[in-house]
Structure formats: structure tokens, C-alpha cells
Amino acid sequence: MVVSTMQNRFIYLFYALLLNVTSLVGQSEISAQNKTHFFCIAPSIQTNGFGINFKWGHASPATKTNFYSFAIDKIRHQKEFRYIGNGRYNGFVYGRKNVAIPMKFGFGKATILGVRNSKNDVGVSWAYHIGASIAMLKPVYLYVEENPGSLIRNEKLVKYTGENTLDLENIIGGAPFFVGLHQMKFVPGAYGKLAMIFNWGKYYTDYHSLEIGFLTEIYAKELPLMASTQNSFIYPSFYLNWNLGKYW
């Protein structure tokens, strides 16, 4: 009777150890799945513009993700008002001297707050990005009427320099984007981001996430975007990224 009781206890202990080992193996498999590389592309909407982001990295521990990023954005001045172009001409912003297109190179780290234990779960992380930014300033060119009011329309392509003599009614439309690229100037700066990331996916190889955060850009000098409106060298904004990519 005593032997039988000891055997039962041994069997219970064996199964308990087996379950613990199975659990540890499952956890190590999840950790192994997390120890992988990823790449994603992310359209971005900001309160002062829009852009496209690229991010890649390596999730070495189960709770950390180190990554690098590259982004191309377009900054809008808060006083901008866009007019629709006339016929085949592009739209334009009256009073805008330059178009600002920042390129950002940076790195960051994401800390996992809630782990996805299954494909039906949603993971939660917080992350930061820091890096260098180079604002490319492209001058604005406009098509204007040389002889307004005449029967014969005579248009002219001019570089807008902020002259008050240029009447809004004489502007036909904006020039194509590539006009003025050879006159582009560059202003160096830096940027920083703080964000919350919510990721999901049917498979562990999917990198689908929604990134919501705050972005601050600081440049070496004011960016001369508008002619008759005060410009700034600091551009804070909220942003929303839709990250789509793969793990491997």
C-alpha cells in the first residue's frame, strides 16, 4: 500500500515536471520567433505634413527591439492655403517660397509592454527614435500671366521670391515638382520621436503595426517656407504610421 502511494506520487511528480518542461520549450520557441530581423514600410500622416518611412532591425531579446529608420517627409506651414490649379496646371500655395522635404536617418529602440502569446493577440510597445535630419528646400515656381486682361494669353514661368507685386489673380498655376531641383538648398537638423506601437498579424512572420506618437524636428536655422508669414526652426507634430512588413 505504501509502495503504491509512493508510485502514485512519483507519477504525479513526473507529469508535473513534464508539463513544466513542455511550457519552457514553448516559451523558448516564442523567444526564438522573436529573435529575428524585420523590415517594414510605413506611410505617415503628420499634423504638419506627410511622408513615407522605412524601418528595419533585429529583436535580440524577447522584450527589446533595436531598429534603424529612414524617412522622407514634406513639411506644411500652419498658415498654408492651397489653391486649385487652372486647367492643366498644378495647384499652388500663395505666398510659399520653398517646399521643405526633410530626409531623416535615425535609430531607436522599442520596449515590449504586452507580448503576443498567440496570433489573435495584439502586442503593445513603446519606442523612441533619434537621428539626423536634412531639410531639402526647393524653390517654388509659378506660371503667371504677363499681360492680364488682354485677348491673347501670354504665360511666363517665374520663381516666387515673395514679391508683393505678384497678384494672386495673375497666377495660373504651379510648375511641375522637378522644376527648380537644381537650385535646392540644404539645412541640417535633428529629430526625436516618442511613440506607442500596436502590432498584430495572422502569422508570426507578419509585421503589421499602428504607430502613434510625437515628433519634434529642430534645424540649424529657420526654414524659409512662407514669404510674408513668420517661419520657424522647430517643428513639433503628432504623427500616425501604418507599418507593413515581414519578419525573417
Say which range, 100-109, 157-166, 204-213, has the weakest mean pLDDT: 157-166
Q: Which domain holds residue 101?
A: 35-143+174-247
Q: Look at residue 108 in the predicted model and tell me its pLDDT.
A: 95
Pairwise pLDDT comparison (79 vs 219), residue with the higher score: 219
64 versus 52: the higher-pLDDT residue is: 52
Domain count, the chain: 1
Bigger pLDDT: 8 vs 177: 177
Weakest-pLDDT range from 10-19, 83-92, 159-168? 10-19
> For residue 14, is it within any domain?
no
List the Cα angle 40/43/45 in 5-degree steps.
140
Q: What is d(CA 161, CA 159) in angstroms, rounded to the nearest whole number?
A: 6
Please give the share of the chain, as a percent, with pLDDT higher than 70.
Answer: 77
In angstroms, the CA 111 to CA 62 distance is: 9
Q: Is the pLDDT of residue 61 over 90?
A: no
pLDDT in the model for residue 31: 39
Decide if 178 is inside a domain. yes
pLDDT score, position 203: 66
pLDDT of residue 165: 63
pLDDT attached to residue 11: 47
Q: Are 21 and 13 within 8 A, CB to CB?
A: no
Q: Does residue 115 register a pLDDT over 80?
A: no
Domain presence at residue 20? no
219/212 Cα distance (integer angstroms): 23
- DSSP H stretches of helix in the chain: 2-34
Q: Does a structural domain hold residue 155?
A: no
Q: Is residue 18 part of a domain?
A: no
DSSP character at residue 31:
H
Determine, yes or no, domain membership for 88: yes
Mean pLDDT confidence for 79-97: 83
In a domain, 7, yes or no: no
Give CA torsion, residues 178, 183, 188, 190, to 10 deg: -20
* CATH code, domain with 83: 2.40.160.20
Section 124-135 average pLDDT? 95
| pLDDT score at 48 | 92
pLDDT at residue 28 above 70? no
Domain assignment of residue 160, yes or no: no
Of 82 and 216, the structure prediction assigns the larger pLDDT to: 216
- The mean of the pLDDT values for the chain is 81
The model's pLDDT over 207-216, given as tens digits with 9 standing for 90+, comes to 888 999 999 9
What is the reported pLDDT for 18? 39
Average pLDDT score over residue span 39-57? 94
